[in-house]
Amino acid sequence: MITDVLAEVELDGDLDSLRSLPGNDVMLAVPVDGGDGSFRRRYTVRRSTETSLTLWIDVTAAGPGATWARSAPIGSTIEAIGPRGQVTLDPLADWHLFIGDLSFLSAAYAMAEAIEPPGQALFVLQVDDEAHLITPTLDEAVGVTLCVIERAGWGPSDPIGLLSGLRALELPDDEGVAYVGGELSVVAAVRAALLERGFTADAIRSKPYWRLGVSNLAHGEPKKDDLA
């Protein structure tokens, strides 16, 4: 555990096929707790070396991945497939805005730490408790703005906190890219707010990681139908 709500899981083995860009994820065949079979769940690669991949898993989530991350003994084996995902860092952007909840933290930090100086990283992050948040390690020449929103009673599908943080944020000049991740309806609301603020669709890279009250599908992503 790296905080009360985040588990760090390190994978080693035959990793050549799993090398990824910052923001990519891998799909794990997470064992069913107390039964046979598995669930496929996707987790962003937080960092990688020649011999290992490190994932952060939100253990507050009531799902098989959180259960496995809390209880898997050292030396456990698991099937991993990847890399996957289309939300990766745009190296041509002058600045980068990362908006989301705890489920987005690993992807946001992995991308931010890949920013070439000089550059700027802006964060609007929502957590239940500020003590749950740790900070990324960025190059000293990269400018950082961090806006932390405590949930303060808002429901996990309520976008008001992140939208308030976005409204209060002064955006730099030049060309920026926004990256959004979290609960499905919140991601949709933030994306709409970014469009209203003048972002083009090409300058927004968004990904819903989960959907309140609905289990992720077999391929590890939330069901997206009926989303306004």
Residues of the chain with CATH 2.40.30.10: 6-84
Residue pair 180/191 in contact (Cβ under 8 Å)? The answer is yes
Beta bridge partners of 151: none
Which two structure tokens, joined as six digits, stand for 216?
């992720």
Residue 71 has what DSSP assignment?
H
Of 3.40.50.300, 2.160.10.10, 3.40.50.10490, 2.40.30.10, the CATH number of 6-84 is 2.40.30.10
H or E element, residue 55? strand 52-58
CATH class of 95-210: alpha beta
pLDDT tens sequence across 128-162: 888 888 889 999 999 999 999 998 888 888 999 99
Phi, psi of 190 (to 5 degrees): -65, -40
C-alpha–C-alpha distance, residues 110 and 138, integer Å:
10
pLDDT tens sequence across 44-101: 999 988 888 899 887 776 677 888 888 888 888 888 888 888 899 999 999 999 999 9
Residues of the chain with CATH 3.40.50.80: 95-210
CA distances from 50 to 24, 54, 124 (A): 17, 12, 32
Which of 173, 174, 207, 202 has its CA nearest to residue 190?
A: 207
pLDDT tens sequence across 194-213: 999 999 999 999 999 888 87
